[in-house]
Chains A and B, each alone.
Chain A
Amino acid sequence: MFPYLPATPEDEKIILERLGLNATEEIFRDIPESVRLKRDLKLDDPKSELEMGLILKSLSRKNWNADSVPMFLGAGVYDHYIPSTVRFAISRSEFYTAYTPYQPEISQGTLQVIFEYQTMICNLTEMDVSNASLYDGASAATEAAFMAAESTRRRQILVSETVHPDTRRVLSTYMGHRGLELITIPMKDGVTDSERMRDAISDKTAAVLIQTPNFLGYLEEITEVEKQIHKNKGLLILSVDPISLGLFKSPGEWGADIAIGDGQSLGNSMSFGGPGLGFMACTKALMRKMPGRIVGQTRDIDGNRGFVSTLQAREQHIRREKATSNICSNQALNALAATVYLTTMGKHGLQEAARHCYDKAHYAASLITESGKYQLAYKKPFFKEFPIISTVTVHKIQSGLLQKGMIGGYSLNQDYPALQNGILYCVTEKRTKQEIDCLVQALEEIE
């Protein structure tokens, strides 16, 4: 007997009798002999809960984790504070063992959470409409590019070099399949080269994609690009760090048509890069082009407020090959985490957390660069991440820090080789002054 399989031998006998069978294997008689597996699968013997616990503990202990060592990695996945309320809510099995709300009358919990999520994302980004979430920031960027191409009937997407390299990789994987042209505009001094971007924009451009704070942590100034792309009747897609929106200008304020981003920071653990969520919000004009689920408010026959999945005419199960996207699931549980996070932090907490990140990152940057051995790659406004260059090799720095029991920043060697031995450091509100001071000291002691 297995703990998740309730059928007793007696139950099995009853079923077989009802089916007029002598033995269980007879139920598979429609499967041709030639494709039947005539041996046991080669897997380890079943493990009891105690044995499995030991295996898991031993595997997990081989990993250094942010609970036990100071970590200064960011680059798209962030070690932010997760309030205890979030873990409580996502552990309610009424939420996590439900599925997509196909039957709205018995899914009001999930549906209302998504409605609240949509409201919070709209308020955070200052956009009109949000969907119920997407897989991650990179898939949100891809879907936004498709959406822009479809609504402008143009095929060219301009992307700044300061957009996350993984996002650009995923974009380039997808774009070719739909006959879209992806053009990367080189950066200048760590930010989007506005002049080159402006010159590249034409009446062929479906959209410009800019990220702020950008991959290197710098805050972008988007006014000029916004004017030019809208003059040419293209769309502005802005990718943002949701925590930064506690302090800095929102996509709505910049005049974005589509706001996207990775929502992992909002109450989701890093979990080796997934699962998290991507968010997407847009102007009212684009609502019916938006991919993914959208929840709307309605009434039941007694006039009580309720929520349903809506605008489903866009989706795959209705439109099949003409759907706006093939997406079925969203990241509902991760969106629940984001909703509870934003509720818990609230109006003031998000700003306070963002301010902590800002101050701690600037404190770290100023101490790291104090002796002159390390320099900021560019002196520009940044949020919680900043690139440091030096004559010491990345390898020496990273292994030096590992020896001191801490995990340093993200190596920029591969994606931004022009930055000499560049490392991108991230400092969130979770890093203490003491941890930052240790990092600075360790960096000074490296050769």
Chain B
Amino acid sequence: MRQYNKLIFECSSAGRKAYSLPPADVPSSELPLSLIRSEHAELPEVSEVDVIRHYTNLSQKNYAVDLGIYPLGSCTMKYNPKINEEAARLPGFSEIHPCQPAETVQGALQLMAELEEMLCEITGMSAFTMQPSAGAQGETLGLMIIKAYHRQRGEEKRRKIIIPDSAHGTNPATAGMLGMEVVEVKSDSDGGVDLDDLRKVLSDEIAGLMLTNPSTLGLFETNIVEIADMVHEAGGLLYYDGANANAIMGITRPGDMGFDVLHLNLHKTFSTPHGGGGPGAGPVGVAPHLVDFLPVPVIIKKQGNYELDYDRPLSVGKVKSFYGNFGVLVRAYTYIKTMGAQGLKRVSEMAVLNANYMKEELKEFYELPFSQTCMHEFVLSHLKNNPYGITTKQIAKRLLDFGMHPPTIYFPLIVEEALMIEPTETESLESINEYISALITIAQEAITNPEIIKTAPHTTPVKLLDEVQAARNPIVKWQKEEKKG
């Protein structure tokens, strides 16, 4: 196929159009001339054929779950069921306005209320809000709730938040954004929270602990009960980062582990598409003692009808316009209903089995810093036999030549040259075996043909891109003059 390398602006030709609007059916009104824009916005002039060809061509330069395995650790790139897409596009869901009278959106409110109930059951929490747009916004809200709880109890001095050194970057970024002080706690030799280190940092200034369980190393925190007790005894609360919830559905619940507040990533665990980087949804669930702090509005049922309740004096306020990313909620609702209890448990079982199988097959070729049973993902380090100093980045680029998406790399930060692999439950054994065999082939090439790895990728639409130049000399929009150069 031909290489397509045009920007839409370069397809533009004065006089072409891709839209059609009906003729005016009302008289035109006079415009306030002093407020009129002096020049047209510089937008493309193309035909509908140009639009469709251009964006279809661009789509073909993307790798995606619908093309093959995408084992990006901690991102849960599972298959996105098609009925979910059809559901979200039903006009009764997509063409409704958030300010319609409640009696005209009973179906939407019912769906949100039922989803809340199901997420409570899955996580063992008491109530959920659907408002946050993504995990990061869920974390923000979660920490706001923790702050509000302490303030309510007259303990405003609790401004420190404990975060393990293996945590995702959003955890400390969120705490920083909310003016909280981050206290890092070390991991022990098994990859868990170091209890002695935790004991040292606990004090009456601690607001809480943020924890991902399974951790970003893909390991279940076996001391979770002790950790929860220690933090609670010190007067702090436990925040559960739900990034890795795909490992535990129907097996164990954050509420039963002692967590007080959590967020889930519906775009990970509950199969809603990642969209190239959003939209997501990061609903937040809370234990009974935090329910009053949830953002407004809360959906309530009165005499058989659903209503939005804004009368919540202790609420932390609003973190997003309206009620959340409803279109994403419809997809997650559909997913949970189609899987049921039995299906969700099966999801976690297969996600964990697949990850362990891959780990076992690969540990002969790659360093495995933590050898215990993993959950839904695992972390590898250097190649075991690496005479030519192949880096993790080079391995990732070489995988592109096999037509596969590389794992998450250089994360978590506490593992050198990390390769973090999350196959998910939606990959077949054949697909997993192909991935294993690609990684083993690369391990062999590292000895026999290191050049082919170092110069990868070879088969992608563009080759290795110069990221340094992009940052040094930022070109962040297309400009006409450039055409000449």
Contacts and interface: CB of A to CB of B under 8 A. Distances in A.
Interface in B126-160: 133-137, 139-140, 144, 147
B177 A346 contact: no
B1 interface: no
A348 to B, nearest CB: 7
A208 B7 CA distance: 36
Across the A-B interface, give the 3 residue pairs with the lowest CB-CB distance, nearest first. Answer: A60-B92, A273-B322, A62-B107
A274 B35 contact: no
A46 B340 contact: yes
A31 to B, nearest CB: 5
B85 A407 contact: no
Interface in A354-383: 355-356, 358-360, 362-363, 381
A181 interface: no
A312 B46 CA distance: 33
A105 B63 CA distance: 9
B454 to A, nearest CB: 12
A362 B32 CA distance: 12
A17 B52 CA distance: 50
A172 B136 contact: no
Contacts of B295: 173
Given A2-B339, A129-B477, A316-B169, A344 B19 contact: yes
B100 interface: yes
A356 B43 CA distance: 19
Contacts of A342: 43-44
A272 B136 contact: no
Contact of B318 (A19, A166, A305): A166
Contacts of A325: 173, 177
B111 A59 contact: yes
Interface residues of A, number: 200
B319 interface: yes
A104 B463 CA distance: 9
A2 B118 CA distance: 19
Interface in B333-377: 334, 336-347, 349-350, 352-354, 356-357, 360-361, 372-373
B200 to A, nearest CB: 20
A94 B51 contact: no
A66 interface: yes
A179 interface: yes
Nearest to A164: B321
Interface stretch (A80-88, A195-203, A229-237): A80-88
B320 A138 contact: yes
Nearest to A99: B274
A39 B380 CA distance: 34
Given A41-B122, A59-B111, A93-B80, 17 more contacts: A31-B220, A46-B338, A59-B92, A91-B85, A97-B64, A253-B37, A299-B469, A316-B136, A323-B176, A326-B176, A328-B136, A331-B133, A333-B276, A343-B51, A346-B45, A359-B29, A362-B29
A25 to B, nearest CB: 8
B478 interface: yes
Given A41-B341, A271-B94, A296 B346 contact: no
A179 B63 contact: no
Interface stretch (B230-238, B252-260, B437-445): B252-260
B450 interface: no
Contacts of B276: 95-96, 98-101, 107, 109-110, 113, 332-333, 336
